[in-house]
């Protein structure tokens, strides 16, 4: 009897997956980057608010497509059903090599580096800790969708506690005059500064579509997917705005903009946390990044599973565990490759590799909305209001990231992304020929 995925994932696990994947290590540094771009505290806060608001259309568009095609696979599935089979394969292929495995390695390495602050260790030991974390999460998520989902929910709640603590204590020592200070002489102001600040927030909001990769395992997707996607973005907007409001209200703005660790510096200025601020941030960072690692191990392998189901990837990737009903082979292979990546590059190199593929994937996915709405049999269970406007907003907000990527992505990362794309079409024709499907 052929094994099939089962719908065992509920609303709170879906939200935890999206929130847990989005709120990662990036927020620990992005506040200062946004402050530098914005020029003053008020615009910094507005940038996070508006940066989050423009993500709402993306989540609404994804929610509609998720209910139209309640299958595992996320972006790949939506592009495939738009009739763009070659592009769907190309994005799935490059996602496997350029996003999924590298994302697991990046967050595991980041978590291990925070642990190294608490327990000094060599570079090799840091890599070995990252590998150990990956393998532990691999075993957990192979063993049970429900158990892995409960773990993801618990560690997502735990990872939010340090932010809640910083916000709560910060409000007690808030200095409103710091927030109302005007921009320094020579700094950008007005619309230009606001647009720059919004662009700089983009990466802090990426990852909320994680639950779409598991739509085929989510209970009642008609209700769950819109609630999970819209609920997660609203929660994250509130968290980031409150966090930014507090940080800009307890640190002089010039110090905030110059800081390489703004949350750590903000924590150090608070009497109740200051003496242990380094430990506070290290513990918080460990929890945050390891929760993100768990989330990526949980949802990402579903894309390759779906490709294998369609005969467009290695056949073994469609295998489900006979007892646990999880795509165990896909999970295991991704984790093993991620372990190898832990020894092959730095976080910066891997992020450059990751970013370009992500941009291509997101932009094309949103563009498929126009194609779907031309199909007579397109019948989503939930419809995005003002879908044309929302889709255009989604595409533009995704393209904003392109310029910023080429400003920081290292050359090795760009080269690796190009190689992954260049190998995609030969691989596509190999599988379509072998399986007797149309090329």
For 253-268, what is each residue's pLDDT tens digit?
888 888 767 877 888 8
Residues 6+ apart with CB under 8 A from 422: none
Contact (Cβ atoms closer than 8 angstroms) between residue 327 and residue 301 = yes
In this prediction the pTM is 0.81
What confidence score (pLDDT) does residue 357 get? 65
Alpha-carbon span 152 to 102, nearest angstrom: 20
Q: What are phi and psi of 5, to 5 degrees?
A: -65, 145
Higher per-residue pLDDT: 307 or 259 = 307
Contact (Cβ atoms closer than 8 angstroms) between residue 204 and residue 25 = no
Residue 385 has pLDDT above 50, yes or no: yes
Helix (H) or strand (E) holding 56: helix 55-68
Q: Which residue do the tokens 């929910």 mark?
A: 153
Residue 280 has pLDDT above 70, yes or no: yes
Residues 6+ apart with CB under 8 A from 426: none
Q: Among positive and negative, which fits the CA dihedral 268, 274, 277, 278?
A: positive
**Exposed, middle or buried: residue 288 (CB in 10 Å: 0-12, 13-18, 19+)?**
buried
* 144 three-class SS: coil
**Of 405, 387, 377, 398, nearest to 206 (Cα)?**
398
**Of 42, 55, 102, 7, nearest to 401 (Cα)?**
55
Local confidence band at 353 (pLDDT 50, 70, 90 cut-offs): low
What confidence score (pLDDT) does residue 401 get? 61
Contact (Cβ atoms closer than 8 angstroms) between residue 202 and residue 408 = no
Q: For the CA atoms of 348, 352, 358, 359, what is the dihedral angle to 10 degrees?
A: 130
How does DSSP assign 267-294, residue by residue? HHTSTTTGGGHHHHHHHHHHHHHHHHHH
Residue 366 has pLDDT above 80, yes or no: yes
Q: Which residue do the tokens 């190898």 mark?
A: 340
Start-to-end CA span in the chain (Å) = 30
Residues 6+ apart with CB under 8 A from 299: 17, 21, 210, 211, 213, 214
Residue 165 has pLDDT above 50, yes or no: yes
Residues 6+ apart with CB under 8 A from 197: 34, 35, 37, 38, 39, 43, 44, 46, 47, 51
What are the boundaries of each domain within the chain?
Answer: 11-432
Contact (Cβ atoms closer than 8 angstroms) between residue 289 and residue 25 = yes
CATH topology of domain 11-432: Amino acid/polyamine transporter I (1.20.1740)
What confidence score (pLDDT) does residue 51 get? 86
Q: What are phi and psi of 21, to 5 degrees?
A: -80, -35
Alpha-carbon span 6 to 223, nearest angstrom: 17
Chain segment 38-81, per-residue pLDDT in tens: 888 888 899 899 988 988 999 999 999 999 998 888 889 999 99
């Amino acid at each position: 009897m052929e094994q099939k995925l089962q719908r065992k994932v509920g609303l709170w696990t879906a939200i935890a997956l999206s929130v847990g994947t989005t709120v990662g290590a990036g927020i620990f540094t992005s506040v200062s980057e946004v402050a530098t771009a914005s020029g003053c505290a008020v615009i910094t806060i507005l940038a996070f608010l508006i940066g989050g608001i423009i993500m709402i259309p993306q989540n609404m568009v994804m929610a509609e497509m998720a209910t139209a095609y309640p299958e595992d696979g996320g972006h790949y599935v939506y592009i495939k059903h738009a009739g763009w089979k070659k592009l769907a394969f190309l994005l799935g292929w490059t996602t496997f090599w350029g996003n999924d495995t590298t994302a697991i390695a990046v967050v595991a390495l980041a978590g291990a580096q925070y642990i190294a602050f608490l327990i000094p260790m060599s570079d090799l030991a840091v890599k070995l800790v990252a590998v150990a974390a990956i393998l532990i999460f691999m075993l957990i998520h192979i063993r049970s969708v429900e158990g892995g989902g409960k773990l993801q929910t618990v560690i997502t709640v735990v990872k939010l506690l340090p932010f809640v603590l910083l916000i709560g204590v910060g409000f007690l020592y808030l200095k409103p005059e710091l927030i109302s200070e005007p921009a320094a002489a020579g700094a950008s102001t007005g619309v230009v500064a606001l647009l720059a600040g919004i662009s700089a927030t983009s990466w802090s909001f990426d990852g909320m579509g994680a639950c779409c990769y598991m739509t085929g395992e989510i209970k009642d997707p008609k209700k769950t997917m819109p609630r999970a996607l819209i609920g997660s973005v609203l929660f994250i907007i509130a968290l980031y705005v409150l966090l930014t409001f507090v940080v800009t209200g307890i640190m002089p703005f010039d110090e905030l903009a110059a800081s390489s660790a703004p949350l750590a510096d903000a924590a150090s200025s608070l009497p109740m946390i200051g003496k242990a601020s380094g430990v506070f941030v290290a513990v918080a960072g460990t929890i945050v990044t390891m929760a993100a690692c768990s989330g990526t191990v949980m949802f990402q392998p579903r894309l390759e599973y779906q490709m294998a189901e369609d005969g467009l990837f290695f056949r073994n990737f469609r295998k489900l565990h006979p007892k646990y009903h999880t795509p165990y082979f896909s999970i295991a292979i991704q984790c093993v490759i991620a372990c190898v990546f832990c020894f092959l590059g730095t976080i910066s190199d891997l992020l450059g590799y990751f970013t370009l593929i992500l941009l291509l994937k997101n932009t094309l996915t949103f563009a498929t909305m126009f194609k779907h709405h031309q199909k007579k049999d397109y019948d989503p269970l939930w419809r995005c209001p003002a879908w044309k406007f929302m889709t255009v907003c989604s595409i533009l907000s995704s393209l904003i990231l392109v310029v910023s990527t080429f400003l920081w992505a290292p050359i090795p990362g760009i080269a690796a992304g190009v190689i992954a794309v260049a190998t995609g079409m030969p691989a596509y024709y190999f599988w379509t020929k072998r399986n007797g499907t149309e090329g």
